[in-house]
A and B are shown apart, each in its own frame.
Chain A
């Protein structure tokens, strides 16, 4: 068994439990504040945000139950902010650069140090991340088919948005000048700042109640607690090397399939695990590139699903796990790769590949492939009712994979996302759209002893001309079944305009005339068993 990085402590199981639940409550409250005060439907209605608490060394000690793809990658943001900036009380850093702590440009992260009065170093850090509906670039919504990161929008390295409690107005003005919906962005950023401050306030209340020494001791115990649970899981796995692979259809620029492969190496004797992505495709011309933080998130997500519920998602969890992610591949892209879809599409495929490997290791605990695409739809233009610009973003759920003991679930977000839909009635008030249909896509789940869940059908009529961008996958490679179960149906999309029906590629961007109807069908989940 590997040596821990500190002398063993004998944790008090009562203090540990109270501490664990207090930190978690703070992260949850930060998320609640952000959701309540944000402006864009993307954050409020869809819940596309996350928040987390870190210790003095930047190790994550609590995360809210929010977006899985954010959570595993948030620690990189704090790491990057700490590497670039020296913090004083009242500072708040902002960043979105995927190559310096971010994931893709629309996800803007704020990091705030928390100082106990008189201390020279921050005792904690709090951070939150929200998906902003537009951060500039070539396409409304900033999720289009770009070839390099500069086309995707404004790239923000770790910089101070707030210094000593004072908002950096020139910086904010610069940011807002470069996005399509500045009012909404300002409202959302204000909400993110408020959320950080609430987190900081709660941590300081905790310090005044328990004192720093007691809290520090409990943080050590908490990180060890997560590690112990992970080691217990790794100890229970059969020893071996378990390879798996799957493909993304293409990068939206060329028609080449994009391979992702993994070898999962278990070592129960040492209670450790190696996840090796060697052999995955080189980074691509389109925006499907994932930065390492996303790959890390996907591994974190899969392992967390296999752990008991009480395993707190802290830095301790991943101590016995090593990742091999070769640089310059689609799972560890280097600048100036475009990365918008790495976060939303590639992350799902990485999970599919990991689960396929784990299906060999723990066959009774792994479902067949789920939809495997977030089906990102962005629509932007001028609202004919008001003459104002708008940018709308949504993701459309699909079927979940069948399970070893039951059918998959229809029309639900799986794995790396859990964003809500925007109510049809809210949508039609806010945007020049009319929704024509929103229904299960019958028969799209894979066959088998247990059926995969069905995908969804969504039809949107555009009441004014608009720029439409679709970013979806599973058009060429269907969601796999397991134990002999059938594949889920592939996704598809079409445009009905001027009495003509055109099939749309999975990844495309185009101008649609007023009156056009978009019809999107999302993939079903794979089946399980015969």
Chain B
């Protein structure tokens, strides 16, 4: 039996298939010992059977965000020890005389230089010498690191010096993260940052995964971990290369969205995952596969290993509303977070987006989290009334909060669609997370997206994505070659050492002189394909110009057995069997009467129009007037907004 377990801040979501039907189990997370919740869930689901566990973990993310990782020694070419600290020499905030800057993960006394140099063509200009290496080893040993990162200039072009350094440091007996293994690509700061993050997370992840593995081994089970790039890797690999797992949860969401959209017959999708404090959006063209980026930033630090191209904005249901000093409304970036949370949760004083949703009648106060938690409508309205300034009524204020929050979300979706030359009118908007389906129709209208899809278990789509992910290993190397260079094929071959069902070869290419690359498949006439892709993404191309291949990449995929989910029988219906009550809802500037449906009671083939609210355990969908909803054979809600 295969189980996907995604650890979140509040809940640990488990999704598995039992007798052809998807099952969900939510258990409370145990933040002090996340393994406890995972093992407890396995015990409940597996009932003693051996299981394959696939895990989305936040252990790495949290260690990075909370700065609780290892004491790291950073080793690089002498003269460049400060690379990690200088970064790109730019400040984070332009118009702030007191702009902040975080200490790098290795402080000045933990950064070490070694006399050596490799040139861009891979020739060794200065070989490391043995005396220096033993000095370096002793200096590092006395600094007592828990983990070591090594990233020498141009080590990807020729790793000889880096390998010599690694051999000398091995006997210190702590995990080594080496740049030519973790990320053999150019741009020294981004590479050093990635390798150092890996070293920073390695000891903690090793301990955590060993504890989980030991707990599972007792039942002859295996453990895999979700990567940020949208595929799983064995726990042992994840323990060695934890930097690949930082955003495993959000990656699961995108993979899950792609799987449900594909099954429902859609090819291009925009994902919209709105939670309490942040919102993730992504674009996927399923015939091209998942869209990957190597330019991510986490906690202000570059992470250049492949990750799904997910854009995150710091706005969610908990974003606070207020007026700025010039009298304009403002939603976020401040958030009520989990503590105190929105006013309607009973503790917070200031109004949030969730309070606004409740005041507009878009949430069912009695059926939040399946009724486990009662929302306080009175408190929500009071907080809105207290803060509404000159606006005439709480619901007017609430309406403004929602519209402004939706404008922010629409901009996030624009960034990953129109800004990249992709037309939202060709997409389906797959909405999930607790709050995504509340705002999906409004966003679809702003961006002219013709369809909205709300999957089954929208609050646990990440776990579903992890369940259906393939096993994936990504390898890459900076080569900097002209496209007709015969060595290209050799480079691919050296990268393809693992066995796999499918090998996907891609190239990062650019016009000579450009500073950014586009990734495209290594196919027949890839140069022509590059010109075409450049025109699509950036509005022009110039076939007269020389192009170069900057990086070669391979993605080794071992397919996961497809999940056989039985379609439901479709029967025309109006959904009336699921109506729990009627309620007034504020939409399009007036109060209207709408129905509240219980999603669990909806049947395939049901069709109805808004205004309506569809309530379920993990999320709420709002259907505005005139929007038409249909339940498809997979029990997705398909909405014409």
| Cβ B89 vs Cβ A411 within 8 A | yes
A169 contacts partner chain B, Cβ-Cβ < 8 Å: no
A437 to B81, CA, bound (A): 9
- Residues of A within 8 Å of B330, CB to CB, are 17, 310
CB nearest to A227 among chain B residues: B326
Is B86 part of the binding interface, using a Cβ–Cβ cutoff of 8 Å? yes
Across-interface contacts of B83 in A (CB, < 8 A): 438
Asked if B33 is at the interface of the complex by the 8 Å CB criterion, the answer is: no
Question: In angstroms, how far is the closest chain A Cβ from the Cβ of B397?
Answer: 9
Report the interface size class on chain B: 35 or more
Give A454's nearest chain B residue, CB to CB.
Answer: B82
Cα–Cα distance between A424 and B187 once the two chains are bound (Å): 7
The interface-forming segment of A37-45, A91-99, A140-148 is A37-45
Cβ–Cβ contact A13 & B154, under 8 A: no
A14 and B403: CB pair below 8 A?
yes
* Given A22-B407, A33-B538, A421-B88, CB of A308 within 8 Å of CB of B324: yes
- B400 interfacial contact with A, CB 8 Å: yes
User: In the complex, what distance in Å separates the CA atom of A209 from the CA atom of B403?
Assistant: 14
* Bound Cα distance from A438 to B111, whole angstroms: 14
- B96 CB-CB contact with A under 8 Å: yes
Determine the chain B residues whose CB is within 8 A of the CB of A367 once the complex forms. 97-98
- A13 engages B329 (CB within 8 Å): yes
CB contacts under 8 Å to A, within B52-100, are 79-83, 85-86, 88-91, 94-99
Tell me if A18 counts as interface (CB < 8 A to partner B): yes
- CA A16 to CA B95, docked complex, whole Å: 22
| A410 with B85: CB separation less than 8 A | yes
Q: B144 within 8 Å of A by Cβ?
A: no
A25 (CB) vs chain B CBs: closest residue: B411
Total CB contacts across the A-B interface at under 8 A: 195
CB interface residues, A 178-201, toward B, < 8 Å? 183-184, 187, 190-191, 194, 197-198
Interface string of A144-183 (1 = CB under 8 A from B): 0000000000000000000000000000000000000001
Q: Which of B153, B327, B538 contacts A37 (CB 8 A)?
A: B538
**Which of B206-214, B345-353, B509-517 binds A?**
B509-517
Chain B's nearest CB lies how many Å from the CB of A8? 12
Residues in chain A near residue B101, CB distance under 8 A: 409, 412
State whether B515 touches A424 (Cβ < 8 A).
no
Nearest CB of A to B390, in Å:
8
- A383: B residues at CB distance < 8 A: none
How distant is A431 from chain B, measured CB to nearest CB, in Å?
Answer: 10
Whether B88 contacts A424 by the Cβ 8 Å rule is no
Pairwise interchain contact B538-A194, C-beta atoms closer than 8 A: yes
Q: Is the CB of A413 within 8 A of B89?
A: yes
Which residues from chain B contact A37 at a C-beta distance below 8 Å?
538-540
A465 within 8 A of B: no
Docked CA distance A130–B399 (Å): 41
Q: Does B538 lie within 8 Å of A11, measured CB to CB? A: no
Assess the A440–B411 pair: CB atoms within 8 A. no
Contact A418 B90 (CB under 8 A): yes
B513 contact set on A, CB distance < 8 A: 39-41, 183-184, 187, 430
Docked pose: A509 CA to B327 CA in angstroms: 53
> Are A17 and B328 closer than 8 Å at their CB atoms?
yes
Determine whether B600 belongs to the interface, using a CB cutoff of 8 Å to chain A: no
Q: How far is the CA of A44 from the CA of B153 in the complex (A)?
A: 22
Q: By CB atoms of chain A within 10 A, which of B94, B99, B189, B323 has the most?
A: B94
Q: Which of A197, A403, A424, A440 has the most CB of B within 10 A?
A: A424
Q: Which residues of A contact B99 (CB under 8 A)?
A: 409
A304 interfacial by beta-carbon distance below 8 Å: yes
Q: Which of A17, A40, A367, A396 has the most CB of B within 10 A?
A: A17
- Contact across chains for B403 and A305 when beta carbons are under 8 A apart: no
* Residue in A13, A301, A396, A456 whose CB lies within 8 Å of B327: A13
Bound: A39/B89 CA distance, A: 21
A65 at the interface (CB under 8 A from B): yes
In the complex, the answer to whether A428 meets B119 with C-beta atoms within 8 Å is yes
**Does A322 lie at the interface of the complex (its beta carbon under 8 Å from any beta carbon of B)?**
no
- Is B325 in contact with chain A by the CB < 8 A criterion? yes
CB–CB A438/B327 < 8 A: no
In the complex, whether B506 has a CB less than 8 A from a CB of chain A is: no
Q: Roughly how many angstroms separate A361 CA and B540 CA in the complex, as a whole number?
A: 51
A116 at the interface (CB under 8 A from B): no
Residues of A within 8 Å of B88, CB to CB, are 420-421
Inter-chain contact A13/B400, CB cutoff 8 Å: yes
* Inter-subunit contact A304/B95 (CB<8 Å): yes
Interface size on A, residues (CB 8 A): 82
For B399, the chain A residues whose CB sits under 8 A away are 14
B328 is contacted by which of A310, A419, A423 (Cβ under 8 Å)?
A: A310
B419 in contact (CB, < 8 A): yes
Q: Is A259 an interface residue (CB 8 A)?
A: no
A308 to B538: give the CA distance in the assembly, Å.
35
Cross-chain contact A225 with B327 (CB below 8 angstroms): yes
**CB of B408 closer than 8 Å to a CB of A:** yes
When chains A and B are docked, how far (Å) is the Cα of A437 from the Cα of B115?
Answer: 12
Among A197, A301, A413, contact of B95 (Cβ-Cβ < 8 Å): A301
Docked complex Cα distance between A66 and B94 (Å): 8
Decide if B91 touches A414 in the complex (CB within 8 Å). yes
Give the contacting residue for A412; candidates B90, B153, B328, B446; CB below 8 A. Answer: B90
Q: Is B301 an interface residue (CB 8 A)?
A: no
User: Chain A residues with Cβ under 8 A from B539's Cβ?
Assistant: 33, 37, 194, 197-198
Please provide the chain A residues from 386 to 435 with a CB less than 8 Å away from any CB of chain B in the complex: 396-397, 400, 403, 405-406, 409-414, 418-421, 423-426, 428-430, 434
B residues within 8 A CB of A434?
119
Given contacts A14-B400, A18-B403, A413-B91, contact A194 B328 (CB under 8 A): no
Is B120 touching A13 in the complex (CB atoms < 8 A)? no
In the bound assembly, the distance between CA atoms of A197 and B389 in angstroms comes to 39
For B187, the chain A residues whose CB sits under 8 A away are 423, 425-426
Contacts known (A33-B538, A456-B89); A429 close to B186, Cβ less than 8 A: yes
List chain A residues, Cβ under 8 A from B511: 39, 187
CB pair A439–B79 under 8 Å, yes or no, is yes
Per-position binary interface string of chain B over residues 32-50, scored 1 when its CB falls under 8 Å from any chain A CB and 0 otherwise:
0000000000000000000
User: Are A36 and B328 in contact, with the CB atoms below 8 A?
Assistant: no
B327 neighbours in A (Cβ, 8 Å): 11, 13, 16, 225, 228
Pick the contact of A425 from B96, B120, B325, B389 — CB < 8 Å?
Answer: B120
CA–CA, A515 and B326, complex, Å = 58
Known: A33-B419, A421-B88, A440-B82. A25 touches B326 (CB 8 A): no
A13 to B400, CA, bound (A): 9
Give the residues in chain A near B146, CB-CB below 8 Å: none
Cβ–Cβ < 8 Å partners of B515 in chain A: 38, 40-41, 44-45, 426
Which residues on the A side are within 8 Å of B190 (C-beta)? 423
Interface residue from B390, B400, B538 paired with A36 (Cβ < 8 Å): B538
Q: Taking the complex as formed, is A459 at the interface, i.e. its CB lies under 8 A from any CB of chain B?
A: yes
- B85 contact set on A, CB distance < 8 A: 410-411, 440
**Quick check: A16 and B329 within 8 Å, CB to CB?**
yes
A29-51 vs B, Cβ < 8 Å mask (1 yes, 0 no): 10011001111110011010000
Question: Residue of B at shortest CB range from A225?
Answer: B326
* A14-B154 CB under 8 A given contacts A410-B85, A439-B80: no
A226 at the interface (CB under 8 A from B): yes
CA distance A95 to B148 in the complex (A): 52
Determine the distance from Cα of A451 to Cα of B542 in the docked complex, in whole angstroms: 51
A13-B329, A13-B390, A225-B327 known, 8 other contacts, Cβ within 8 Å: A11-B327, A21-B411, A29-B414, A33-B419, A194-B540, A410-B86, A439-B82, A440-B85
Where the two chains meet, the residues of A that have a C-beta atom closer than 8 Å to any C-beta of B are 11, 13-14, 16-18, 20-22, 25, 29, 32-33, 36-41, 44-45, 47, 65-66, 68, 183-184, 187, 190-191, 194, 197-198, 209, 225-226, 228-229, 232, 301, 304-305, 307-311, 355, 365-367, 396-397, 400, 403, 405-406, 409-414, 418-421, 423-426, 428-430, 434, 436-440, 456, 459
Q: List 8 A-B contacts (CB under 8 A).
A: A21-B408, A40-B515, A66-B94, A305-B96, A397-B89, A403-B97, A411-B82, A438-B83
Q: Which are the 7 A-B pairs with shortest beta-carbon distances?
A: A44-B515, A14-B400, A437-B79, A310-B324, A397-B89, A420-B88, A225-B326
